Amino acid sequence: MFDNLPLWPARASAGAGNVDALYIFLLLLSGFMCLAIFTMIVVFALRYRRQPGRVAEQIEGSTALEITWSVVPLGIFMVIFVWGAFIFFQERTPPRDASEIYIVAKQWMWKLEHVEGQREINELHVPVGRDVKLIMTSQDVIHSFYVPAFRIKQDVLPGRYTTAWFRATKPGVYHLFCAEYCGSQHSGMIGQVVVMEPAQYEAWLSGGSSSGSLASNGESIFQQLGCVTCHRSESQGRGPNLVGIFGKPVQLEDGRMVIADENYIRESILSPSAKVVKGFKPIMPVFQGLVSEEQLTGLVAYVKSLSAPSAAGSKTQESKVQ
Amino acid sequence: MSDSTATSGHGPELLHHFSTAEQQRDAASLGMWLFLGTEIMFFGGMFCAYLIYRLWYFNEFAAGSRSLDIWLGTINTIVLICSSLTVALGVRAAQMGKRKLLVTLLVLTIIFGVAFLGIKGVEWYAKYKEHHIPGASFDASDLIRDYPQIHIDPAHEQIYFSLYFAMTGLHALHMIIGVGMFTYLLYHSMKGRYGPEYYTPIEIGGLYWHFVDVVWIYLFPLLYLIDRKPLG
Amino acid sequence: MSEHVLSTKLYYGIWIALMVLTVVTARIAFIDLGPFNTVVALVIATCKALLVVLFFMHVKYASEKLVKMVIVASIFWLLLLLLLSLADYGTRYARHG
Amino acid sequence: MATAVITPERENYLNQEYGIKSWLLTVDHKRIALLYLVSITFFFFIGGFFALLIRLELLTPAGDLVQADTYNKLFTMHGQVMVFFFLIPSIPAVLGNFLVPLMIGAKDLAFPRINLLSWYLYITAGVLMLHCICTGGVDTGWTFYTPFSTAFSNTKVVEAGVAIFIAGFSSILTGLNFVVTIHRMRAPGMTWSRLPLFIWAHYATSVIQLLGTPVLAITLLLVVFERVFHLGIFDPTRGGDPLLFQHLFWFYSHPAVYIMILPAMAVESEVVACFTRKRIFGYNFVAMSSIAIAVFGFLVWAHHMFVAGISLYSALIFSALSYLVAVPSAIKVFNWTATMYKGSITFTTPMLYAFGFIGLFTMGGLTGLFLAALGIDVHVTDTYFIIAHFHYIMVGGAVMGYLGGLHFWWPKISGRMYPEWLGKFAALIVFLGFNLTFFPQFILGYMGMPRRYWQYPPEFQVLNVLSTAGSTILAVGYVLPMIYFLWSMRYGKPAPDNPWNAAGLEWKTSSPPPTFNFDQPPVVNFEAYDYEHIPEVEEVPVV
């Protein structure tokens, strides 16, 4: 009902309402505090203005008052903290089955890739009601993916993946901003998020020029770079078997355990010796500088697809290798 | 000070705005201590970077540490400890008014300081010859060859050496300032300016010197002794 | 502050202790103590630093607490920097696990 | 005091010596304060000029006044000049320098020559910064975020970094001087519990300067080295972590906000006490809250990095700690308000600034609660909301405090009165102009307009126009005091020793004070804010 008031942007994601609720609570709280303090100041200033024959009354202070106005605000602050942390936790925990979109930011554009293979620039099409997880990296400086209507923002860093997620709730076209200063055309690094009804979205998806799914693209890169010669699906390969490893703990040569997430796969491609899997030798060549961010995205998507039991990618892999 | 007005009770070294010599000395000493506190945080920023990257890139840090000359490092530690001793004895000599002894000890301190810098220079030169100076000519292939048991990423090795040069370089800069400071103190000691009545400059100069020594006491294990145990 | 004039004997004692500790720490580094190599090296370094600060820098004999406060505050602030940074680095990738 | 009669010929720190040399080689803390006053005023107007250009550019959604690169340089240099060359030295180096020795009954700061050195360092840094500005400037944002600053920007990053590095040492030396002076130079009888709250706040400020600034210095040094030698410490393509830079940078740059605001709080306590004719309510709590701010201020830095890619858990820790630092700030506001209760309030110019300070600081502080709340911060960080928030603190708080303090002690500094009606008028203009400039930015921010945008979607225009309009009013409000202060130096009414009938040692010496501050070394046998024992004069002070 407040959508036409220019006090906040459109509320188009599942999380936006939560953020606004806390915001409104804080507005009311702050409004009340301001009102209370300003009223007191005005009343004191008028009531106790200098008048002939009246002298100021010296008051030393009051420990009880001091403790009150320290502890009570602290209590309120802790409520705000817990509330804010709760929202943050939701914002930072993508649902397990969220569909994924890979984003590569560069000076000064957004390149987005759907798992189905659609590529977009400065434009993101998503259907209403679907959980969407963004897996983002930058190929130069720090950027920040910001959609005010979704109340989400996440810095996009070079050299690693950061994630964000949302579930759009209202069809429309919304701003996509780069929120971290990134050079000359920082303010030109904007785009739009188009939220569509599921049926329209399917139409859009089938209409676009797709050159195969992200995972299958990744698979062909996997072949081209010769990864397949060592990473075979039987365990005798010189490199670890990649089927089913995504999201699982991996025992390392030096005894540590890591979870094979996107950042681990990324690091293992670019700088393989950093975390060597137990039982294998650090013989894999370094790919830092040899693969582009887009190729990496494909590779990561491919490795992930090997762990999804129903995904088409893993089947083709098995059939090819065996 | 041109504007020191000699009121009653003011000695020649007492600045006009202090009321007693003791107040002046306490102020100078506190000032130096606060400055050293600042210095801790100044090095602290690099210790923070060191800590993070040592956790991240332990292998490369270990290999880089092995490639340093532990003998020269130990000798330098000993040289600095000796210089700290001569400084401590120097303050004592000033307190007791032994001018000649003070001059001798200051000369010794300066010699130790210069020796430290010389040995450091030798180490740096060796690193230069080995192409271990970060930058375009950086090359870690010799380390990869020498320590086949350790997985080394050249980029991460360069971070170790960046921090090595930043930390030892900053420390050496402090040493150079210290040597300059002590040369100044030596000059005034020879002119007999310091004695039991007035030795504050020697004292706070000494505090600075000891501090630089303490920094090295930490830099030595952090840079040289990361991982020296026999390679399996 | 340091009106106290210490005996040369004490200074030489401290000096010998520092030399011994230096040699010990350099030797011990070659013995495999597992993760304790670093701990031992830092403990020895801290002992040495304490000797220098307490005796060479006369902190043990300083009449007032102020200097001690300055030292403690500086180290406390250094630890703030290190530990709160570690709060991030120590947990950055852990939540997937 | 020797005499209450004003004789213009009386020897004081201003007329004791004449000539450029007597100023450039002075070790008198009061003269150095004036050197600082002149130099920071210069940089204030440079920074202000950049600000006006920024606001003019944002009048229209299209980027039509300056080029994108020029705009990026404008906001970068606005930030760097204002933060490092105006706000951080403003109150400490001018009012603090002038007043700390006077308030504790000392003849000078503990290290007068280091004080002068610190001004020369400041000037060296300033000249370098000016050179950097004139030869092309820098476009990294005042935050120098890597890897943009180290590997991508092709502007004068090294020069700006070195300038700020040097300015940092100036700041460290000032802080060091204050701490030693407050510990060692107090007049007999001036116990810690008798110190004016101005001194307490400056003590806390100095602690931050001493322990925070070196970390910024080393960080900028590493950035410079990285840029020159391509080290890789902050460069992700070489294994470095750009977030490490942010950690180190904010370790200083968050507490730096308290370097700016604590001294303004210091001024606030003096002014409120004087013009309510009362001892500050809860002296101990106000004093301790300064120390608490200095300590807690170091525990919260990563709240600038909630969306930067730090771990979830550390975000929780830093968010919770951020609320901790809000408590001592709240304590101060409540205590100043309580001080007014049953006071005897006069509405002089400094008091108007004090009212403005409390109001704007309260709003700045309360919006800080929004930003510390993780869920909201994600949405509003890096938008105009944060711009509005920190301008409410730094301009609404620190600059209002600075101007209020300048008016309050101007009679002491210059020996002349400023025209009171003009002062009130300017205070009003500043207050109105400020709110018109920055209040719309809160709304802009929540609507989602990112900061550092050269062009923006048209729906944000209305609020931007309001903001630009406000900034021109604000500019008038800032130019006015400069004019009438200059005017008053020659034509102002000679000031009596204690024009406000105020408590405090600085009012017990002549206006302007003699070179060694007091004709007789003062002995303190009264409490701070001893208004009970200062009889009220019949007429309302100079209106």
User: CA B180, CA D370: separation in Å to the nearest integer?
Assistant: 52
Q: How confident is the model at residue B151 (pLDDT cuts 50, 70, 90)?
A: confident
CA distances for A64 relative to A60, A68, D281, D285, angstroms: 12, 6, 13, 12
Write phi, then psi, for B7 (nearest 5 degrees).
-90, 170
Q: Which residue of A has its CA nearest to B149?
A: A282
Where exactly are the structural domains of chain B? 33-224
Sign of CA dihedral B71, B169, B164, B52: positive
Q: Chains near D, with 3+ CB pairs < 8 A?
A: A, B, C
Where exactly are the structural domains of chain D? 24-529
Q: Looking at beta carbons, which residues of chain A come within 8 Å of D341?
A: 44, 48, 59
Q: Looking at beta carbons, which residues of chain C come within 8 Å of A257?
A: 97
Q: What is the pLDDT of residue B217?
A: 97
User: CA C42, CA C21: separation in Å to the nearest integer?
Assistant: 12
**Residue listed under structure tokens 């590493």:** D222
Cβ neighbours of residue D254 closer than 8 Å, sequence gap 6 or more: D297, D298, D300, D301, D303, D304
Q: Please answer yes or no on whether C93 and A259 come within 8 Å at the CB atom.
A: yes
User: CA D100, CA A122: separation in Å to the nearest integer?
Assistant: 57
Q: Which residue of A has its CA nearest to D463?
A: A6
Share in percent of chain D as helix, strand, coil (round to 5) = 70, 0, 30
Q: Chains near C, with 3+ CB pairs < 8 A?
A: A, B, D
Q: Does C12 touch chain B (CB under 8 A)?
A: yes
Give which of B44, B125, A274, C84 is closest to D222, Cα–Cα: B44
C→D interface, C-beta within 8 Å: 66, 73-74, 77, 80-81, 84-85, 87-95
Give which of A75, B176, B1 is closest to D116, Cα–Cα: B1
Q: Please answer yes or no on whether B41 and D211 come within 8 Å at the CB atom.
A: yes
Q: For the residues A206-234, what does the mean pLDDT come to?
A: 79
Q: Which residue of A has its CA nearest to C97?
A: A259
Is residue C35 within 8 A of residue A254, CB to CB? The reply is no
Q: Please answer yes or no on whether B158 and D225 come within 8 Å at the CB atom.
A: no
- The beta-carbon neighbor of D310 closest among C73, C77, C92 is C92
Indicate the pairing of strand A131-138 with strand A99-106. Answer: parallel
Which residue of D142, D374, D531, D542 to mutate against A (max A Cβ within 10 Å)? D374
CA distances for A295 relative to A264, C7, C84, D261, angstroms: 16, 72, 36, 49
Q: How confident is the model at residue B150 (pLDDT cuts 50, 70, 90)?
A: confident
Q: What is the pLDDT of residue A311?
A: 44
Is residue B102 within 8 A of residue B48, CB to CB? The reply is no
Write phi, then psi, for A94 (nearest 5 degrees).
-70, 140
Q: Chains near A, with 3+ CB pairs < 8 A?
A: B, C, D
Rg (CA), chain A: 27
CA distances for D60 relative to C76, D91, D459, angstroms: 50, 36, 11
Q: Which residue of D has its CA nearest to A56?
A: D343
Q: Does D344 touch chain A (CB under 8 A)?
A: yes
Q: Looking at beta carbons, which residues of chain B come within 8 Å of D219?
A: 45
Is residue A128 within 8 A of residue A171, CB to CB? The reply is yes
Work out how many CB contacts closer than 8 A connect B with D. 121
Q: Please answer yes or no on whether A273 and B155 come within 8 Å at the CB atom.
A: no
Give which of A259, A321, A322, A271 is closest to A296, Cα–Cα: A271
Q: What is the pLDDT of residue A67?
A: 95
Q: Looking at beta carbons, which residues of chain B come within 8 Å of D215?
A: 41-42, 44-45
Nearest CA-CA distance, residue A191 and chain D, Å? 11
Q: Which residue of B has its CA nearest to A276?
A: B151
Is-cis flag, bond preceding D512, omega within 30?
yes
Domain at A9-39+64-211: CATH architecture: Sandwich (2.60)
Nearest CA-CA distance, residue A11 and chain B, Å? 40
Cβ-based burial of D134 (10 A; exposed 0-12, middle 13-18, buried ≥19): exposed
pLDDT at A101 over 70: yes
Nearest CA-CA distance, residue C7 and chain D, Å? 29
Q: What is the pLDDT of residue A316?
A: 42
**Does the fold of domain A214-321 match that of domain A9-39+64-211?**
no
pLDDT at A321 over 60: no
Q: Please answer yes or no on whether D311 and C84 come within 8 Å at the CB atom.
A: no
Cβ neighbours of residue D213 closer than 8 Å, sequence gap 6 or more: B38, D168, D169, D171, D172, D175, D252
Q: End-to-end distance of chain C based on CA atoms, in angstroms?
A: 55
The region that residue A122 occupies, defined by phi over 0 for left and psi between -120 and 50 for alpha, beta otherwise, is: left
Q: Does C35 touch chain A (CB under 8 A)?
A: no
D475-488 exposure pattern, b = at least 16 Cβ within 10 A, e = fewer: bebbebbeebbeeb
Give which of D489, D294, B81 is closest to C16, Cα–Cα: B81
The alpha carbon of residue D431 and the mean position of all alpha carbons in its chain are separated, in whole angstroms, by: 17
Q: Which residue of C has its CA nearest to D301?
A: C84
3-state secondary structure of B180: helix
Q: Chains near B, with 3+ CB pairs < 8 A?
A: A, C, D
Give which of C42, D465, D443, B12 is closest to A6, Cα–Cα: D443
Write phi, then psi, for A28 (nearest 5 degrees).
-65, -45
Flag residues of chain D having pLDDT under 70. Answer: 1-9, 537-543
Q: Does C97 touch chain A (CB under 8 A)?
A: yes
Q: How confident is the model at residue A251 (pLDDT cuts 50, 70, 90)?
A: confident
Q: What is the pLDDT of residue A285?
A: 81
Q: What's the ipTM?
A: 0.91
pLDDT at B47 over 80: yes
Q: What is the pLDDT of residue D8?
A: 52
Q: What is the pLDDT of residue D222?
A: 95
Is residue D339 within 8 A of residue D275, CB to CB? The reply is no
Q: What is the pLDDT of residue A236?
A: 67
User: CA A132, CA A35: separation in Å to the nearest integer?
Assistant: 42
Q: In CATH, which of 1.20.210.10, 3.40.50.150, 3.40.50.300, 3.10.105.10 is domain D24-529?
A: 1.20.210.10
Q: What is the DSSP string of B48-92?
A: HHHHHHHHHTHHHHHHHHHTS-HHHHHHHHHHHHHHHHHHHHHHH
Q: Please answer yes or no on whether C87 and D298 come within 8 Å at the CB atom.
A: no
Work out how many CB contacts closer than 8 A connect C with D. 44
Neighbours of A132 (CB within 10 A): 22
A214-321: CATH topology: Cytochrome Bc1 Complex; Chain D, domain 2 (1.10.760)
Q: Please answer yes or no on whether C93 and A258 come within 8 Å at the CB atom.
A: yes
pLDDT one-digit tens code per residue, C11-33: 999 999 999 999 999 999 999 88
pLDDT at A241 over 60: yes
Quote the DSSP letter at residue A245.
-
Indicate the pairing of strand A119-121 with strand A109-114. Answer: antiparallel
pLDDT one-digit tens code per residue, B75-128: 999 999 999 999 999 999 999 999 999 999 999 999 999 999 999 999 999 999
* 467-486 in chain D: CB under 8 A from chain A: none
Quote the DSSP letter at residue D8.
T
Q: What is the pLDDT of residue A53?
A: 81
pLDDT one-digit tens code per residue, D397-417: 999 999 999 999 999 999 999
* 20-79 in chain C: CB under 8 A from chain B: 22-23, 25-26, 29-33, 37-38, 41-42, 44-45, 48-49, 52-53, 55-57, 66-67, 70-71, 73-75, 77-78
Q: For the residues A211-228, what does the mean pLDDT come to?
A: 83
pLDDT one-digit tens code per residue, D73-114: 999 999 999 999 999 999 999 999 999 999 999 999 999 999
User: CA B69, CA B76: separation in Å to the nearest integer?
Assistant: 11
User: CA B17, CA D211: separation in Å to the nearest integer?
Assistant: 27
Angle between helices C66-89 and D197-229 (to 10 degrees): 50
Nearest CA-CA distance, residue A75 and chain B, Å? 34
Nearest CA-CA distance, residue A161 and chain B, Å? 17
User: CA B223, CA D323: separation in Å to the nearest integer?
Assistant: 39
Which helix (H) or strand (E) segment holds residue A113: the answer is: strand A109-114
Nearest CA-CA distance, residue A274 and chain D, Å? 11
Share in percent of chain B as helix, strand, coil (round to 5) = 75, 0, 25
Q: For the residues B187-210, what does the mean pLDDT come to?
A: 93
Is residue D160 within 8 A of residue D138, CB to CB? The reply is yes
* 308-327 in chain D: CB under 8 A from chain C: 310-314, 317-318
pLDDT one-digit tens code per residue, A155-204: 999 989 999 999 999 999 999 999 999 999 999 999 999 999 999 999 88
User: CA D96, CA C7: separation in Å to the nearest integer?
Assistant: 44
Nearest CA-CA distance, residue C31 and chain D, Å? 31
Neighbours of C21 (CB within 10 A): 18
User: CA C41, CA C29: separation in Å to the nearest integer?
Assistant: 7
Superfamily of domain B33-224: Cytochrome c oxidase, subunit III, four-helix bundle (1.20.120.80)
User: pLDDT higher for A309 or B15?
Assistant: B15
Q: What residues pair up with A39 in beta bridges, in sequence order?
A: none
Q: Please answer yes or no on whether A288 and D237 come within 8 Å at the CB atom.
A: yes
Q: Please answer yes or no on whether B33 and C81 come within 8 Å at the CB atom.
A: no
Q: Please answer yes or no on whether D311 and C94 come within 8 Å at the CB atom.
A: yes
Q: Please answer yes or no on whether C88 and D301 come within 8 Å at the CB atom.
A: no
Is residue D103 within 8 A of residue D198, CB to CB? The reply is yes
Nearest CA-CA distance, residue D109 and chain B, Å? 8
CA dihedral A210, A211, A214, A215 (to 10 degrees): 130
Q: What is the pLDDT of residue B8?
A: 39
